[in-house]
């Protein structure tokens, strides 16, 4: 079955390939599940019925779809092995719909709302750090920063997708409780992103300096005032609109100060 699981994992990257407005990810879901159904259903009519069960509406975060596919696969295996009749057929689609919404919200919050901005800040931090340390020698290596972002993000998100699908196969419906550990990861990533943001801001000032045509005297006290204003404004925005705005506020503040020559 390892070969089948591997094929399903690879296919999970194409869940949105045939995305449509009526049923959204339904065809992609069937595409992922088909190798498993080919294995467990030897009767062609039973396999056809299983395929038709999953052409209805389905939509969740693409990175979180693996756990739903794995749980459904376990249910389909049980149906095939126990030769379940239509009268006792579990409501598989209801189980899918119940999980899809919460997993979509969790995936958006962790991958797009937390992980991606945090890794973006790592890339910004590295850019400013290398400019300060290597100076002119860094010019030839600047093109590597976007590739570092791509590598870091994909290493984390691909590993997470594999782990999520593995949980679904191993624990079935109980894997939802295991996924509650994502709350800890969210908190950890947010705080690490904040630390990186502050480090990037400090490096920004230490690299490019500050002062609007000599308006600000070069003193440590003035440095601290500028740092404090940026961070306080960022925290106020974050408390009003959400934690993710803390990252973007600091980015915009740095862009504005750079434009003003600060």
Residues 192-242: tens digit of each pLDDT = 656 666 666 666 555 555 444 444 444 455 555 665 666 666 666 655 655
| Rounded distance between C-alpha atoms, residue 60 and residue 4, angstroms | 23
**228 burial via Cβ count (<10 Å: 0-12, 13-18, 19+):** exposed
131: tokens are: 């400019």
| Rounded distance between C-alpha atoms, residue 67 and residue 35, angstroms | 16
Whether 55 contacts 27, CB under 8 Å:
yes
| Rounded distance between C-alpha atoms, residue 81 and residue 233, angstroms | 61
- Side-chain half-sphere of 86: how many Cα atoms within 13 Å? 3
Res. 262: pLDDT tops 60: no
Strand partners, 58: 24
| Rounded distance between C-alpha atoms, residue 182 and residue 109, angstroms | 10
- Taking CB atoms within 8 Å and a gap of at least 24, the contacts of 185-191 are 185/110, 186/109, 186/110, 186/114, 189/110, 189/114, 189/115, 189/118, 190/114, 190/118, 190/243
| Rounded distance between C-alpha atoms, residue 95 and residue 175, angstroms | 13
- Per-residue confidence (pLDDT) for residue 140, from 0 to 100: 63
pTM exceeding the 0.95 threshold for the entire prediction: no
Instruction: Give 144-188 pLDDT, tens digit per residue.
Output: 778 888 898 999 889 989 988 888 888 777 676 666 666 666 666
Instruction: Give 100-125 pLDDT, tens digit per residue.
Output: 888 888 888 788 877 887 787 777 77
Strands (E), the chain: none
């Amino acid at each position: 079955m390892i070969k089948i699981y591997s094929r399903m994992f690879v296919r999970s990257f194409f869940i949105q390939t045939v995305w449509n407005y009526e049923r959204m990810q339904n065809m992609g879901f069937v595409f992922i599940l088909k190798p498993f159904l080919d294995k467990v259903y030897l009767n062609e009519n039973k396999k056809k019925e299983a395929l038709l069960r999953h052409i209805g509406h389905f939509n969740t975060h693409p990175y979180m779809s693996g756990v739903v596919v794995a749980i459904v696969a376990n249910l389909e295996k049980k149906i095939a092995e126990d030769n379940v009749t239509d009268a006792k057929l579990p409501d598989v689609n209801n189980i899918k719909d119940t999980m899809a919404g919460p997993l979509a919200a969790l995936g958006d919050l962790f991958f797009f709302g937390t992980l991606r901005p945090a890794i973006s800040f790592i890339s910004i931090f590295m850019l400013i750090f290398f400019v300060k340390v290597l100076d002119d020698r860094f010019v030839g290596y600047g093109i590597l920063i976007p590739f570092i972002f791509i590598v870091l993000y994909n290493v984390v998100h691909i590993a997470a997708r594999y782990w999520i699908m593995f949980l679904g196969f191993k624990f079935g419906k109980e894997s939802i409780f295991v996924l509650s550990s994502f709350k800890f990861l969210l908190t950890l990533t947010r705080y690490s992103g904040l630390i990186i943001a502050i480090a990037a801001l400090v490096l920004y000032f230490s690299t490019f300096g500050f002062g609007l045509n000599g308006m600000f005297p070069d003193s440590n006290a003035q440095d601290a005032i500028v740092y404090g204003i940026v961070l306080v404004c960022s925290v106020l925005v974050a408390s009003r609109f959400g934690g993710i705005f803390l990252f973007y506020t600091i980015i915009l503040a740095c862009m504005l100060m750079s434009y003003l020559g600060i």
